[in-house]
């Protein structure tokens, strides 16, 4: 999923939280290094993004406010992360972000 450079400012990951279930679309996002990534949700539930070790961004943990703002993909590699429901941290999903060299 590569956004046209003239019309989209960030690659988007849609987060859906329904009760004790979390889903993301896409489940695995591949983005060129230096591009922006943003998590979006339509519901009222907030979430935290947590990377295993150093993630692709400036920090290992993105609060809801940070995750729903564009983040630059700085580090290349495959990064497993967790989407954790803020109101019930036992509810989580573990998708992937892949940062490739610039195209």
| Local confidence pLDDT in tens for the 103 residues of the chain | 444 444 458 999 999 999 999 999 999 999 999 999 999 998 899 999 999 888 999 999 999 999 999 999 999 999 999 999 999 999 999 999 999 875 5
pLDDT at 92: 95
Q: Count structural domains, the chain.
A: 1
pLDDT at 35: 94
Domain annotation covers residue 58:
yes
Domain annotation covers residue 23:
yes
CATH code of the domain covering residue 95 = 2.60.40.420
Contacts of 47 (CB under 8 A, 6+ apart): 15, 17, 22, 39, 41, 64, 67, 83, 84, 85, 86
Biggest CA–CA distance in the chain, Å, is 40
| Structural domain range at position 30 | 11-100
Domain annotation covers residue 49:
yes
Question: Do residues 66 and 58 make contact, with C-beta atoms less than 8 angstroms apart?
Answer: no
3-state secondary structure of 65: helix
pLDDT at 6: 44
């Amino acid at each position: 999923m590569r956004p046209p450079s003239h019309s989209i400012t960030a690659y988007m990951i849609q987060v859906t939280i329904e009760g004790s279930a979390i889903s993301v679309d896409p489940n695995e996002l591949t983005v060129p290094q230096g591009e922006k990534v943003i998590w979006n949700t339509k519901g009222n539930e907030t979430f935290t993004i947590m990377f295993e070790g150093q993630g692709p961004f400036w920090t290992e943990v993105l609060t809801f406010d940070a995750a729903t703002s564009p983040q630059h993909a700085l580090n290349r590699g495959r990064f497993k992360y967790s989407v954790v429901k803020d109101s019930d941290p036992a509810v989580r999903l573990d998708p992937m972000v892949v940062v490739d060299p610039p195209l």
